[in-house]
């Protein structure tokens, strides 16, 4: 049996990056994808379609509020079918980069079919055994569906099926107030659905700073979303063509009727069909267990992306793939560093975060300084009509320990703080950096200056300035 240098299982971002680099470096690589196309969840059911949908929702929201800018426009009518057609066209354009023939041109043997381990160095695909020296598991994740009685009988939507919808539901229920749930909830509300969001947690986005999440909660409700946190859906059934949710929250039983139900209650790793026990690969509730070099318990088998956690983001799958390339391809020991990990919730305004929250820093006993600055005081945000939200900066010993931006283009703006943390730049350097006016990026300097100014205008500094000016001519 031929022994391949590297077998990559999974055709999403993590698997594609690893396979393409290894193939171009001359290794004998086999890439196995269980579906019928490459690109993974991000391209077909996640990042790309959702951001395309969100952009369309933003357009109709802007037109609907055109009078705010002194522009008269007819009342817009959304066409969900046409929106989804554009979603499909965007996917098709990007799909060209993930054409199997492109990877075959790199020397990668691309195969479609279910892979399962039959031994520590062997997998079987479509009945054919494949032997490899090293392996990469990059099989991603899928929606986690809660065991709510009656849910399976109501034809619910997930991120894997919602982009096939052609008709806008008059009433949409969303289970889950995490990033996926809130992004899609706001988009459908902007198209014209009456949206109700349910979550058992006491607040939305529990990984974010509580005050930032509270502001976003208020902004979403101001657009007409109904958000019921601290609420458990006990039973679901149908009545007169509607989906009825029986809920309990705040000590009260309530019922809410919707026309369609979207489930966005988290993700679960795709590992069941791999038969990892045959390869000696240990798993845990979050997926495949790996060390800092992305090695599983079987040291010749690596894993990356959603299947491992702890960050189910496309950019983290790509980052982890780079760690695997260093260790499995170049055989150079390199460890993953999760000190500086940015993430973005693509609501409007966007919520972007990197580093520690204020509470996390205080829980570690750090003596941190916290600065805030409202976008309502950033001139460019005012000119754009995007003044909702604020920036929050957590500083420790003169450097950035964490940053959160709730504001326009927050996902773009956060990278100045990402670089500051990665390079361990002092906040005084940020304050001294010239930021073009008028730009949204001025929020960084203004936030830092709001903290530094307290020391600049302190009584001791005032006395020093007074003494210098009396002493010197």
Per-residue confidence (pLDDT) for residue 73, from 0 to 100? 87
- Helix or strand (DSSP H, E) at 221: helix 210-222
Per-residue confidence (pLDDT) for residue 294, from 0 to 100? 98
pTM of the model as a whole: 0.94
- The CA–CA distances, whole Å, from 320 to 253, 269, 323, 324, 418 equal 45, 16, 5, 6, 17
Per-residue confidence (pLDDT) for residue 155, from 0 to 100? 93
3.40.50.410, 3.40.50.620, 3.20.20.70, 3.50.50.60: CATH of 151-265 = 3.50.50.60
Sketch the domain layout of the chain as residue ranges. Answer: 3-38+99-142+268-329, 151-265, 343-456
- The CA–CA distances, whole Å, from 297 to 30, 120, 277, 282, 428 equal 22, 11, 11, 6, 45
Q: Residue 246: how many CB atoms within 10 A of its CB?
A: 17
Do residues 306 and 140 make contact, with C-beta atoms less than 8 angstroms apart? yes
Per-residue confidence (pLDDT) for residue 457, from 0 to 100? 62
CATH superfamily of 3-38+99-142+268-329: FAD/NAD(P)-binding domain (3.50.50.60)
Query: Prior bond to 19 cis, omega within 30?
Result: no
Per-residue pLDDT tens listing for the chain (473 residues): 689 999 999 999 999 999 999 999 999 999 999 999 999 999 999 999 999 999 999 999 999 999 999 998 888 888 999 999 999 999 999 999 999 999 999 999 999 999 999 999 999 999 999 999 999 999 999 999 999 999 999 999 999 999 999 999 999 999 999 999 999 999 999 999 999 999 999 999 999 999 999 999 999 999 999 999 999 999 999 998 899 999 999 888 999 999 999 999 999 999 999 999 999 999 998 899 999 999 999 999 999 999 998 899 999 999 999 999 999 999 999 999 999 999 999 999 999 999 999 999 999 999 999 999 999 999 999 999 998 999 999 999 999 999 999 999 999 999 999 999 999 999 999 999 999 999 999 999 999 998 876 665 667 767 777 778 878 77
Residue 67 backbone phi and psi in degrees, to 5: -60, -25
> How far is 314 from 47, CA to CA, in rounded Å?
8
Please give the CATH topology (third level) of the domain spanning 343-456: Enolase-like; domain 1 (3.30.390)
Gyration radius of the chain's alpha carbons: 25
Asked whether this chain's domains 151-265 and 343-456 adopt the same fold, the reply is: no
Do residues 344 and 371 make contact, with C-beta atoms less than 8 angstroms apart? no
Give 410-457 as a DSSP string: HHHHHHHHHHHHHTT-BHHHHHHS---TT-TTHHHHHHHHHHHHHHHT
Given the structure tokens 């070099």, which residue do they identify? 293
> How far is 209 from 218, CA to CA, in rounded Å?
14
Q: Is 113 helix (H, G, I), strand (E, B) or coil?
A: coil
Per-residue confidence (pLDDT) for residue 455, from 0 to 100? 67
Candidates 377, 168, 124, 163; CA nearest to 258 is 168
Per-residue confidence (pLDDT) for residue 213, from 0 to 100? 97
């Amino acid at each position: 049996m031929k022994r391949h240098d590297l077998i990559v299982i999974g055709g999403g971002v993590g698997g594609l990056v690893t396979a393409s680099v290894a193939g171009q470096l001359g290794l004998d690589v086999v890439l196995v994808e269980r579906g019928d196309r490459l690109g993974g969840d991000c391209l077909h059911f996640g990042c790309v379609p959702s951001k395309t949908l969100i952009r369309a929702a933003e357009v109709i929201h802007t037109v609907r509020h055109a009078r705010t800018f002194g522009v008269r426009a007819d009342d817009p009518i959304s066409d969900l079918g046409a929106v989804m057609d554009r979603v499909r066209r965007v996917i098709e354009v990007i799909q060209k980069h993930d054409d199997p023939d492109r990877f075959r041109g790199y020397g990668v043997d691309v195969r479609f079919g279910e892979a399962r381990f039959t031994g520590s160095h062997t997998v079987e695909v479509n009945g054919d055994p494949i032997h490899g020296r090293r392996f990469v598991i990059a099989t991603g994740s899928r929606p986690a569906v809660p065991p709510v009685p009656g849910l399976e009988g109501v034809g619910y939507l997930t991120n894997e099926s919602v982009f096939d919808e052609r008709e806008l539901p008059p009433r949409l229920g969303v289970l889950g107030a995490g990033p996926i749930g809130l992004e899609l909830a706001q988009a459908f509300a902007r198209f014209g659905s009456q949206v109700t969001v349910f979550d058992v947690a006491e607040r939305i986005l529990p990984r974010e700073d509580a005050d930032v999440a509270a502001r976003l909660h208020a902004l979403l409700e101001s657009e007409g979303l109904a958000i019921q946190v601290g609420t458990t859906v006990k039973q679901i059934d149908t009545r007169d063509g509607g989906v009825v949710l029986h809920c309990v929250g705040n000590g009260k039983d309530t019922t809410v009727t919707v026309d369609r139900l979207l489930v966005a209650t988290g993700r679960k790793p795709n590992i069941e069909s791999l038969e990892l026990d045959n390869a000696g690969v240990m798993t845990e509730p979050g997926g495949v267990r790996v060390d800092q070099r992305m090695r599983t318990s079987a040291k010749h088998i690596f894993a990356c992306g959603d299947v491992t956690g702890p960050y189910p983001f496309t950019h983290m799958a790509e980052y982890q793939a780079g760690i695997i390339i260093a260790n499995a391809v170049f055989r150079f020991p390199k460890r993953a560093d999760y000190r500086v990990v940015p993430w973005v919730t693509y609501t409007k305004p966007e919520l972007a975060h990197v580093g520690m929250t204020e509470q996390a820093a205080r829980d570690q006993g750090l003596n941190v300084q916290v600065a805030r600055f409202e976008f309502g005081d950033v001139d460019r945000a005012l000119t754009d009509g995007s003044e909702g939200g604020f920036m929050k900066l957590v500083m420790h010993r003169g450097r950035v320990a964490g940053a959160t931006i709730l504001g326009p283009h927050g996902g773009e703006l956060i990278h100045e703080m990402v670089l500051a943390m990665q390079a361990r730049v002092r906040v005084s350097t940020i304050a001294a950096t010239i930021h073009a006016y008028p730009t949204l990026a001025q929020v960084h300097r203004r936030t830092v200056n709001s903290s530094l100014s307290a020391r600049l205008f302190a009584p001791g500094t005032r006395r020093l300035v007074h003494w210098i000016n009396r002493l010197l001519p």
